[in-house]
Amino acid sequence: MPSVGVQNHVKTFLVDNLGNPQTRAGRWVGAEEEAALIRRWLTRASLKVFFDLISDHALDIHWTYREAFWSACLNKGGIDDAWLVLGPAVHASARARESLGTAFGRLEGGGVSADQSVLLLRIGPLVISEWSHNGKMRAFPAARAPRFWQSSYSRSDLTLPGLSFPPDPRRPGSTASDSTGLAHMGSGTGVWQRRAARLLAQHASVVLTEADWRLR
C-alpha cells in the first residue's frame, strides 16, 4: 500500500483527468479494478474530511467515538463508498472547498441547521447515515435507502424509515430500536457501538470487536 502522500498525488491526477469514479463511472470502463482502488482511497479521504469538518462545526462528544468506530470498519474493508452531505455553513468553509471541491451533496430545505451534515456509507447491502449534532444513526437496505452522489438532499430524503438495531448483547432485557434509528447513548461504555456492530454482522457480514473500535 503506497503512502498517503503518494495516494493523494495519484488520486488527484486520475480524478482530474478521468473524473471521479464514484460519480463518473462511465469514464472508467475497462479500468474497473483501478476505479475500485481509487474509490477506496476516496472513501478513506471522505471519512477524514468529514470528521475534520465535524470538529469545526459540531461540539459533540460522541464524534470521537464515531470516528473510531467507522475507521475500524474502514480498516476491516467494510466500507465500499462514502458520500458527504453538507449544510450551507459547512460546504462554504475553506476546509471543505480545499478538500472536496464539488464532490459532495448539499443539505438544503427546512428542519436542519446551516452547520449540520450527514455522512452516507455503503457497507455491503446496507446504507448507513450518520447525522451530526447528536443526530441518530440510521441503517437501510440499499434498495430503499437514500441515493448516493446526489447534488442536493432534503431532511426527508435522509430520514426514511430504516432497519431496527439489535439490542445490546451485554444488557439483558434491552430492546431493538425502532425505524427512526439508533441514538449514540453510552459511547464511553460501548452501548451503541455493540448494537451497531451486531447489525453490521447480521446484515453485512462485517465483524467488529470492541478491540477494533476502542479509543486508543
* Highest mean pLDDT: which range of 1-15, 83-97, 105-119: 105-119
- 128-160 burial by CB neighbour count: b if 16+ within 10 A, else e? bbbbbbebbbbbbeeeebbebeeeebeeebbbe
Helix pair angle (4-18, 32-57), 10° resolution: 110
pLDDT digits (tens, 9 = 90+) for 71-107: 999 989 899 888 989 888 776 665 556 666 667 889 9
Q: Model's pTM, two decimal places?
A: 0.83
pLDDT attached to residue 28? 80
Residue 200: all three cell numbers together: 453490521
pLDDT attached to residue 22? 67
Other residues' Cβ atoms within 10 Å of the Cβ of residue 55: 14
pLDDT digits (tens, 9 = 90+) for 151-187: 999 999 999 999 999 999 888 888 999 999 999 988 8
Contact partners, residue 184, CB within 8 Å, separation at least 6? 62, 65, 66, 134, 136, 137, 192
pLDDT at 49 over 80: no
Q: Are strands 126-131 and 117-123 parallel, antiparallel or unpaired?
A: antiparallel
